[in-house]
Amino acid sequence: MPMNISYDNLEQMAPPTLLLCRRDRTVLGALYPVTDLTVTWNLDTCQELSFRVYKELLPDTLWNGLDQFKLLYIPEFAEYYDLDVAVSETEQSVKTITGKSLCEAELSQIVLYDIEINTESDISREDYTVAPVYDPEHPADSLLLRILNKAPHYSIGEVDAEIAEQVRPFSIHGKDIYAFLTEELARELDCLVCFDSVHRRISLYSADSYGKDTSVFVDRENLATSISLNLEKDSVKNTYRIQGGDDSMTAAVAACNPNGTNYIYHFSDTMRRNMSDTLSHSLTIYQELYESRQQEYADNMHALYASIETTLYLTSGMMPKETLPDTSAAAELAKLTAKTIGTISVQRLSTASTTTVTNAVLAMAKTLLAPGYLVTAPEANYSAATHTWVGRFCVTASAAGSQTSTSHTSDSKSTTDTAENKSAITLPVDENYLNYTKQRIRKSLNQYQVKSETTYDYTLYGLNPLINFLDAYQACLDILIEMGAADADPNLGLSDLYAFYYQKRLLVSHEIQVREGQLKKTQAKTDTYLNIRNTIQKALDLRTFLENRSVWEEFCSFRREDSYQNDNYISDGLNDAELFKNAQDLMDTAEAELIQASEPAITMDASLNNLLAIPEFRPLVGQFRLGNWIRLACDGHIYKLRLSSCTLNYADLSTISVTFSNAVSLSSGIRTIRQTLSDIKQRRLRQSHVSSAAGSTENSEPADTSPNYDPASDATRNVTYHSNCLLGRSYDPDLEAYSDAQLKIIGNSIVFTTDNWATTQTLIGYHSLRDDSTSGSESGAGSRIYGLNPALFPGDSAVTIQELQTELNTLRTELNALKNGSTQ
C-alpha cells in the first residue's frame, strides 16, 4: 500500500495538498494554511488524519463550508477522507478536523441483514448457483457482488485468483459491510482487503503474497531512536479442539484427522526450549510420524469413502432416474373416468353398502394418481338395486401447488391445488371373484409404489428397492393364497396370477442374491480400510505415544488449550463428499490459526529517524510501503517484520512512528508464519479429495437387509413375522439353507408348500369361492379335513363325518338300552 510522499524543489518533504469537497466530490477549495497535520497509514484499518485551521487564516467560504459530512481529498495520497469537525472559540476560532478514509467510513454505515450465501437456505432456492468469492465472467453470482447489493456505487478491483475461486457459506445478519469484509471474510480466506476511495473500488489480496521482502535494515545504531517489543503471552495456544457449525461437521473433522480426534497441536520453538529434552524429542518424533502417515491416511480414507459410497449406491442409490411428472390436480382428475377405473368388484354384493363401495372406488382411483395427490368423494351413492355407484371426485395436492381447477367448469380459485368434478361419474359394481382379486393386488402394489402394468429391469436396482419389489410381490402371493388360489378352479385364473407373481418374485430374489454378493465384497474392502484407519489412529494417539515415553504429565503442564469453532462450516445440504471436503477445509483454517496462536503476538513500535527525509535513504523510499517486510534488530535478535502502520507528523519531520506486526525471530530459527501456512496448504492439496466415514466402527458387519431379517434373532430363526403373514420353516445347517417345505399363517388360513412356494396347499381356512360356508383344505401331515363332506383318514381307510355321526348315534342308542337292561 503506497505512501506517496512529495518533495519540493529543495528535496525537502513537502506538506500534501488538502482539497475540501462536497459529498459529490465537487472541490470547494484548498485548505491552507493548516497546523499540526498528522497522517497515519494503516495496513488493515482505515487511514486517518488530523489538523487544525484558524478562522482568520481561511477565506469565509472555506471556513463556513468546513462542516460535518464534507470530504477532504489529498491528490498526493490518492485518498478521500470523511471529515469530523469540532469547533472551539477562545481568543481565536479554531476548527479541529479529524478524518478517516472514505470507503471505510461509508461501508461501516451500511448494514447487512438476512444474507445467506452458499448455505442450506440459499441452496434451496430454485435459481441458486454456486457463489464463489468473485467470478469475473459472471460477477452477479459472486459473493462480493451479492454483498455489495446495498452499495451499488462500489465495484470490485483486483482479486487474487486463489481467493476468487474459493466457495464458503456465510450467514450474515446485523453486520456492516466493512466489518464483514475486514473481519469475517478476511479471517476466513486469510486475505487482505484494500480500498480505493478515488474509484470506490475494493480489492482482495492473499496475505501470503502481499508485500515485498525489502533490503531495509533498522537497528538502534542506524535509524531507530527507540524500539519497543511487546509479547502477548496470555494469548498463546498450542492445542485446538476443532468444532464446526453442527455436530455432523464436528464429527467429520475427527474422521479426517489422522489421530482420530478433533484435537490438533503445534508448539513453537520458544516453548520447546523450555521442555525437557525427552519431551521435546518425543514431540519431534511424533510430528515426524504424524506427517509420515498423513498421505497414507489420506489415501486410505479416500478409498474408504469410495467403498462406503459404493455400499450406499448398491444398497439404496442404485435405480433408474425418475423424473416427477409435470402435473396438476386438474390433470390428475382427468385420469379418473368410468373407462379408466372400470367395474368395481366387491367380495359380496349382498353386504355391499355406500360406504364399502365408495372405499373400494377411492382405493382404485388412488392407484391412477401421481404421487403427492389425494382423492376424496364429496358426493357418493351406491344403488343395491342396479349395482351402480354414482359420485364425484375431488383431487387435492398434498402440498401447496398451483391454482385450483374445477373440472367441466370455468370457475377457478387461487387456493391450494385442488380439482373437483362438477358432473357425476357412474361405475358398475359386481362380485366378480377374479376381478376382485386383481383389484386387491393392484391396491397392494400401489402401497409399495409398484405399477402392475410396468415392466421393470431388476438389474438396475439396489438392494433396498429390490427388497421393496420382493415385499410387493410377496404381498400379491399372500393375497392369492388367502383368496384360495391353491384350491380354485384353474379356469378361474387365480393359478395363472399366482404363477405370474411367483415368477417375478423369483427374478427379484435372484437379483437380491447378486446384489448381496456385491455388497459382501464391498464390505470386505471397507473392513480392510477401516482396519488400516484404526491402526494409523492408534499409532498417532498422542497420549499413548507420550505415556510410553513417560512424558505425558510433563506435556500436560505445557498444554495451552482453546476451542476453535467456525460456524460457517455446516453439513446442511451437503452430500458425504462435500461434507468431508469442508471438514478438510475447516482443519486447514484451524491449523493456520493455531500456528499463529502458538507464537506470542509480537508488536514492535519504533521511533525512527525519518529516513524518508534523509537524501541518502531516498532510494529506499519506494520500498517503505505498508505490507512490505523489513529487518529490525532488538536485544540481540533480528526480526523480520511487516510494516503495518506509519504515522507522519508534518510539524516534526525529524522522526517517523511505525508499528510492525507478524514479527518472526530469524535468529531463533523460527520459520515465517506464512511459509508454515504454505506448507500446510501444499500438504492439504494432496488431501483435498480425501473423505472419511464418520461414525464407522472397527470390524463392523453389514446389516442383514433380507426380507426375512428379524433384528431380534439370528439368521437361522425358524419362525419369522412379516407384514402379511407368519412364516414357519426349518433350517438345515449342513446345507446352510432353509427347507423347501414351509408353512404360513395368512389371514384366517394355514397354508403349506413343499417347493418353496411355487405351489401351495391350504391346510385350514375359509375360502370366498362360491359357497361362503366352505371350510376346506388339502392334505397335511397326518389326518385331513376337506370340503363339504369332511373326512378323517386314519391310515388307508376313510370315514366321513356323517358316517361317524350315524355310528355314534347308533352306539348311543345301544348304550342307553344296555343301561336300561332292555337289550344285551
Question: What is the rounded distance in angstroms from the CA atom of residue 93 to the CA atom of residue 770?
Answer: 117
Between CA 709 and CA 362 the distance in angstroms is 34
pLDDT of the residue at 322: 76
Q: Which three cell numbers stand for residue 704?
A: 442383514
> For residue 518, what is its C-alpha cell?
456385491
**The cell 437379483 sits on which residue?**
511
- Does residue 786 register a pLDDT over 50? no
pLDDT of residue 51: 97
Overall average pLDDT of the 173-183 stretch: 95
Three cell numbers, residue 662? 507478524
Q: Which residues are CB-neighbours of 39 under 8 A, at least 6 positions away? A: 16, 47, 48, 49, 77, 647, 648, 650
CATH top-level class of 213-236+600-669: mainly beta
Tell me the pLDDT of the chain averaged across its residues. Answer: 80
Architecture of the CATH domain 111-206: 3-Layer(bab) Sandwich (3.55)
Instruction: Indicate the pLDDT class of residue 705, thresholds 50, 70 and 90.
Output: very low
Count Cβ neighbours within 10 Å for each residue of 574-590 and write b for 16 or more, e otherwise. Answer: bebeebbbbbbbbbbbb
**CB contact at 8 A, 227 and 632:** yes
What's the pTM?
0.56
What 8-state DSSP symbol labels residue 16? P
Cα–Cα distances in angstroms (integers) from residue 151 to residues 184, 198, 514, 586, 748, in the given order: 18, 15, 61, 30, 75
Q: What pLDDT score does 740 carry?
A: 76
**Least-confidence region, from 16-20, 303-307, 659-663:** 659-663
Distance CA 22, CA 162 (A): 39
Q: DSSP 3-state assignment of 172? A: strand
Least confident of 109-123, 198-212, 344-358, 789-803: 789-803
Highest-pLDDT range among 413-427, 585-599, 687-701: 585-599
* Residue with the larger pLDDT of the pair 673 and 286: 286
Q: Give the count of beta carbons closer than 10 Å to the beta carbon of residue 219.
A: 14
Render 698-714 in DSSP notation, one character per residue.
Answer: TT------STT--TTS-
Compare 216 and 448 and report the one with higher pLDDT.
448
CB 131 within 8 A of CB 160: no
Per-residue pLDDT at 379 = 92
Residue-level pLDDT at 388: 94
Residue 603, pLDDT score:
66
d(CA 301, CA 531): 11
Contacts of 795 (CB under 8 A, 6+ apart): none
Measured CA to CA in angstroms, residue 642 lies from 44, 47, 88, 218, 345 at distances of: 12, 17, 39, 13, 88
What is the predicted pLDDT for the residue at 69? 87
Q: Which residues contact 765 (CB under 8 A, 6 or more apart)?
A: 482, 484, 747, 748, 749, 750, 751, 775, 776, 777
Instruction: Quick: pLDDT tens for 242-285.
Output: 999 889 999 999 999 999 999 999 998 888 999 999 999 999 99
* Nearest residue to 77 (alpha-carbon basis) of 29, 19, 124: 19
End-to-end Cα separation, the chain, in angstroms: 135
Among 60-69, 237-246, 742-751, the minimum mean pLDDT is found in 742-751
Please, which residues bridge with residue 727 across strands?
720, 744
At residue 778, the pLDDT reads 41
Q: What are phi and psi of 151, to 5 degrees?
A: -130, 65
**pLDDT at site 366:** 92
What is the secondary structure of 772-793 as a DSSP string?
Answer: TT-B-----SS----SSS-EE-
d(CA 423, CA 379): 10
Residue with the three cell numbers 403373514? 725
Are 218 and 606 contacting, i.e. CB atoms less than 8 angstroms apart?
yes
Mean pLDDT across 707-714? 41
Digit-coded pLDDT (tens) for 159-169: 999 999 998 88
Beta strands 201-206 and 155-159 are parallel
Residue 407, pLDDT > 80, answer: no
Reported as type and span, the H/E element at residue 509 is helix 494-539
DSSP secondary structure string for all residues of 218-255: E-TTTTEEEEEEEEEGGG---EEEEE-SSHHHHHHHHH
Round to whole Å and give the CA distance between 672 and 666.
8
> Does an H or E element contain 383, and which?
strand 373-383
At residue 60, does pLDDT exceed 60? yes
DSSP 13: B
C-alpha cell at 76: 498526493
493 Cβ contact partners less than 8 Å away, ≥ 6 residues apart: 434
Q: CA 651, CA 648: separation in Å to the nearest integer?
A: 9
pLDDT, average across residues 390-397: 93
11: confidence class by pLDDT, cuts 50, 70, 90 = low
Residue/partner pairs of 148-155 with CB below 8 Å, 24 or more apart = 148/177, 148/202, 150/110, 150/112, 150/177, 151/106, 151/107, 151/110, 151/177, 153/200, 154/103, 154/107, 154/200, 154/201, 154/202, 155/199, 155/200, 155/201, 155/202
Three-state DSSP at 49 gives strand
User: In this structure, how many other beta carbons lie within 10 angstroms of the beta carbon of residue 311?
Assistant: 21
Q: What tens digit of pLDDT does each residue of 340-385 get?
A: 999 999 988 988 999 999 999 999 999 899 888 999 999 999 999 9
Whether 712 has a pLDDT exceeding 50, the answer reads no
733-768: buried (b, 16+ CB within 10 Å) or exposed (e) per residue? eeeeebeeebbbbbbebbbbbeebbeebbbbebbbb
| Whether pLDDT at 542 is above 80 | yes
Q: Please tell me the predicted confidence (pLDDT) of residue 127.
A: 87
Give the DSSP H or E segment for 476: helix 463-482
More confident residue, 190 or 663: 190
Give which of 585, 559, 564 is closest to 574, Cα–Cα: 585
Tell me what pLDDT residue 643 has.
83
- pLDDT score, position 684: 36
CB-based burial of residue 249 (10 Å sphere; 0-12 exposed, 13-18 middle, 19+ buried)?
buried
Q: Point out which residues pair with 93 in neighbouring strands.
A: 89
- pLDDT value at residue 765: 64
What 8-state DSSP symbol labels residue 406? E
Asked whether 606 and 658 are in contact (CB, 8 A), the reply is yes
Residue 78: CB atoms within 10 Å: 13
Q: Delimit the domains of the chain by residue range.
A: 19-107, 111-206, 213-236+600-669, 329-515, 719-780, 789-824
Q: For 429, list phi and psi in degrees, rounded to 5.
A: -130, 135
Of 48, 105, 99, 226, nearest to 647 by C-alpha is: 48
561-565 and 239-243 strand pairing:
parallel
- Confidence class for position 528, pLDDT limits 50, 70, 90: very high
- Residue with C-alpha cell 402435473? 327
Contact 402, 369 (CB under 8 A): no
* Predicted confidence (pLDDT) per residue in 615-646, tens digit: 555 666 667 788 888 887 777 777 778 888 88
Q: Amino acid identity, residue 451?
A: K
